[in-house]
Amino acid sequence: MFGGIKYRINRLQDMAFRRYISHYIVQAMQLNTQRNKVITCDFILEADTSPQDEFELFKYIYGQHNEYFVPYYIINEHCAAYPEIKAKYGDNIIPYSAENIVSFAFYMKELFKTTKFICGGFQVLHALCLGITDGCKRSPYVYSFFTQHGVNFFKDNFISQSSYSAFLFDKIMISNDFEKNLFMNRACYKEENLVKNGLFRWDLLSADHAQSNKSIFIYFTHRRYLRNIEDIQDTVYVRTITSLLRNKEFNRLIEENGYTVQVALHHTVLQVCGNDILQGVQILKDEEIADAKKNAALLITDYSSMCFEMWFQHKPVIFLNVPDTEDCLTYGHKTDLPAPYSGKEDYIFNVAQNVDECVSMLGHYFATGFRFSQEECQKRDRFFYYNSDFCARFYQYLVDTRNDTKTLYHLPVNFSMEFARCPDINTYAIELPTPHGRWVVRKKAHFSFFVPTDSKDLAIQIRFRPYLRYKQYKFFAKVGVNGHWLPRREVFTRGIKAFVLDVPRSWIGADGKIEIQFKFSHVYKRSQLRIPGGDQRYLSIQLLTMDLLERDHSFAEVKDQFEAINEERARQRALLEQGQDEEWSNQHDTDADE
């Protein structure tokens, strides 16, 4: 009993602290100060990961002797590398740990007063729930960069509006056109916010003069579902790896050519399964992996981003498919991929469907001296915009944009937007988007934006989907614009609905600000609605689209203006669908004739 009370008290204290510190972090980022700090961090939430890409960027900026920026690197203070790094770089290293979150947050609050750029390869600063993401998105002075860790190429289904998107970062660094299209289509970035470069850790490698020892590197990436399985040794994942290592032809090739084999697994697999997961096979430590991939002649992997380093050095990679589609689908962890190679045929090569195919490909490379074919060279070159100077190029980009400021929350008139794809509105009590829209999460909520100051009377249509379930068969909604409220409306039918707003110029201030406000009543709590697990819907409505138009006074009422627009849209959709049906029918007839 007392343990439960203590837990609830601690939880309330934690929530109160995070709300308090978030407020002041947002304030710190909105100060118009002289900003010359660059904050970098890798995956700080776990102690058993070594410094990676962002540490390389930090070292490069540190080596410029504060010419333009003062760099800082956040690291988990329990990381094995922390004492040495702290001793070398002193106060430019910021220690983080879960138990010291309070002192860390207050230190960061002060640092954010003069920070210009925040660069990270993960969403860890967002995951800390300290208001850092909110502060960046609301600040005209501070820019956040997702400089990526390579998670996106194979795990492209992991990219969404709520993951690594323009709703969380201002800009993103990309390595090739695949990533460009991925982040524009799935993460809602505009092309001007994409920075062409490559991973900072590639500066440690040579694209044209790479050396290798007589070693084959085997590295398999993580599987979240392993934590759900009792007998790890009987999984397809483990059986595939061990069958390769015990394959007679594989071992013959290694021994006859005088090679060695080095094996590593993703650190999250070792956390769950332990270092003896492969029973008798020595597994490299995390800090030994960098040298292994630098010295290896060839990599065998499932779909690890280690392949990028090998391709970068013009070294071949064999992708050994782990046929664990059933396990991936059964347990449903979104980073476990049932079809990791699909859609990437223009970039990857050497996909082996079983161990025998993998060993055959390995034999081919032994026979050819591990050289790329012409087609493999073309695919490799397609993957990289550049072959060197990644830290220097990005640093110059920061120097060139150090005086830039953001124009926040400005929308043009005669504009239609999807709430799921437009990050450029200021929201309160409105959740991050799903692929379809954004759920309102409190009984009072609002979003705001600015229109051009010379705008005239406006007509606004907001399409939404109500959440009606169990005993919540209706609720009441009020909508207002800049403090002018429409009559309360009863919402009691499912399907897509719309709020239609007639906004005269007199309601719009001199700065052009528009604030759309919501008030809901007769809404039940989630616990009262028997919401099934995993259902991400909230409260009352999901915002879908908004039309922001100049008011056409040839229509007596604003609803008439939108009825005409909606009818025309329906007609255009019908014509499009008819054309698609005719195209399919013609193609079907052609196929039948053939």
pLDDT tens by residue, 203-228: 998 888 888 889 999 998 888 788 88
Six-digit token string for 535 = 């259902």
- Domain assignment present for 119: yes
- Domain assignment present for 392: no
103-130 b/e (C-beta count within 10 Å ≥ 16 → b): ebbeebbebbbbbbbbbbbbbbbbebbb
Together in a domain, 45 and 185 = yes
- Domain assignment present for 394: no
Q: How high is the pLDDT of residue 515?
A: 97
- pLDDT interval class at 69 (50, 70, 90): very high
pLDDT tens by residue, 249-258: 999 999 999 9
Together in a domain, 153 and 237 = no
Together in a domain, 470 and 546 = yes
Least confident of 294-303, 356-365, 517-526: 517-526
- pLDDT interval class at 290 (50, 70, 90): confident
Together in a domain, 433 and 481 = yes
Q: How high is the pLDDT of residue 444?
A: 93
Beta strands in 15-89, from DSSP E residues, in sequence order: 37-41, 70-76
Least confident of 272-281, 355-364, 389-398, 430-439: 272-281
Contact 433, 536 (CB under 8 A): no
Nearest-angstrom CA–CA distance, 314 and 206:
9
- Domain assignment present for 390: no
| Rounded (5°) CA angle 162-167-169 | 110
Per-residue DSSP letter, 156? G
Q: How high is the pLDDT of residue 149?
A: 67
- Residue 182 CA from chain centroid, whole number: 11
Domain of residue 515, CATH code: 2.60.120.260
Strands 260-265 and 194-196, by their bridges, are unpaired
CA quadruple 186, 187, 192, 194: dihedral sign: negative
Closest CA to 412 of 403, 402, 422, 420: 422
- pLDDT interval class at 81 (50, 70, 90): very high
Domain boundary among 150, 180, 204: 204
pLDDT tens by residue, 6-59: 778 788 888 899 999 999 999 999 999 999 999 999 988 888 888 889 999 999
Together in a domain, 494 and 541 = yes
Domain boundary among 153, 176, 204: 204
What is the SS3 assignment for 416-437?
A: EEECCCCCCCEEECECCCCCCC
Q: How high is the pLDDT of residue 581?
A: 61
Together in a domain, 338 and 469 = no
Closest CA to 143 of 406, 435, 522: 406
Six-digit token string for 548 = 């922001």
Residues 6+ apart with CB under 8 A from 475: 466, 468, 490, 491, 492, 520, 521, 522, 523, 540
How confident is the model over 172-194, as a mean pLDDT? 94
pLDDT at 562 over 90: yes
Q: How high is the pLDDT of residue 200?
A: 94
How confident is the model over 93-109, as a mean pLDDT? 95
pTM: 0.88
pLDDT tens by residue, 378-403: 999 999 999 999 999 999 999 999 99
Together in a domain, 222 and 193 = no
What's the mean per-residue pLDDT of the chain?
89
- Domain assignment present for 589: no
Domain boundary among 178, 204, 230: 204
How confident is the model over 412-417, as a mean pLDDT? 95
How confident is the model over 303-317, as a mean pLDDT? 90
Which residue do the tokens 């070792």 mark? 270
Together in a domain, 145 and 286 = no
Integer-rounded Cα Rg, in Å, for the chain is 28
Q: Give me the amino acid identity at 170.
A: D
Burial class (CB in 10 A: 0-12, 13-18, 19+), 490: exposed
Q: Give me the amino acid identity at 134.
A: D
Together in a domain, 200 and 255 = no
Which residue do the tokens 């030994």 mark? 288
Residues 6+ apart with CB under 8 A from 179: 148, 152, 153
Together in a domain, 428 and 539 = yes
pLDDT at 539 over 90: no
Nearest-angstrom CA–CA distance, 367 and 193:
45
Closest CA to 339 of 350, 318, 324: 324
- Residue 285 CA from chain centroid, whole number: 27
- Domain assignment present for 165: yes
Least confident of 233-237, 456-460, 570-574: 233-237
Nearest-angstrom CA–CA distance, 195 and 465:
36
Element (H, E) at 516: strand 513-521
Contact 268, 326 (CB under 8 A): no
Number of domains comprising the chain:
3
Nearest-angstrom CA–CA distance, 336 and 229:
14
Contact 306, 151 (CB under 8 A): no
Six-digit token string for 359 = 């060993």
pLDDT tens by residue, 450-462: 999 999 999 999 9
Domain of residue 360, CATH code: 3.40.50
Half-sphere exposure at residue 521, Cβ-oriented, CA atoms within 13 angstroms: 6
Domain of residue 134, CATH code: 3.40.50.11820
Domain residues for 33?
2-204
Six-digit token string for 177 = 């056109």
Nearest-angstrom CA–CA distance, 511 and 503:
15
- pLDDT interval class at 3 (50, 70, 90): low
Together in a domain, 364 and 458 = no
- Domain assignment present for 352: yes
pLDDT at 437 over 80: yes
Together in a domain, 256 and 364 = yes
Long-range contacts, 101-104 (Cβ 8 Å, 24+): 101/128, 102/17
- Domain assignment present for 511: yes
Contact 14, 120 (CB under 8 A): no
